[in-house]
Amino acid sequence: MAYDIRLMKLVTGELVIGKYDEAKDCLTDAAAIQTIPSQQGVQMMMLPYGYPFEPDFSGTIEGKFFLYRYGDTPKELQDKYIEACTNLTVAGGLGKLQFGSGPLPGAGSSGLIS
């Protein structure tokens, strides 16, 4: 089942991500996004909204609390959200996998049909 995962800015200034329910105009299984400065730059951390009082991704935020609705949620951020909610790792680059014994596309050839 595909979810409509969206990024929103709340009236409190917090950035949150969650599964958008268009019928109810709300985010379910909401996560707060925190940025942490480090020596390597800025790192991002996702926590269940309401943490530490809510240890699970189960919070719901109504649309009346959205200050800004981002038009596009980056794929990398959606993957991190799914990983945080499910404790599973989202595999990247699956489109490059090939099953069988033939050569990989583009390996040692121009990729053109001759």
Q: Mind listing the pLDDT tens digit for each residue in 80-105?
A: 998 888 877 776 654 444 444 445 45
User: Quick check: is 109 in a domain?
Assistant: no
Chain-centroid distance, C-alpha 80: 5
d(CA 95, CA 113): 20
CATH code assigned at 76: 2.30.30.100
pLDDT for 49 beyond 60: yes
Choice between 14 and 106, residue whose per-residue pLDDT is larger: 14
Nearest residue to 31 via CA among 3, 56, 11: 56
Q: Which residues form the domain of 64?
A: 5-90
Predicted confidence band at 3 (pLDDT cuts at 50, 70, 90)? confident
Residues 34-58: what's their mean pLDDT? 84
Number of domains in the chain: 1
pLDDT for 32 beyond 90: yes
User: Quick check: is 113 in a domain?
Assistant: no
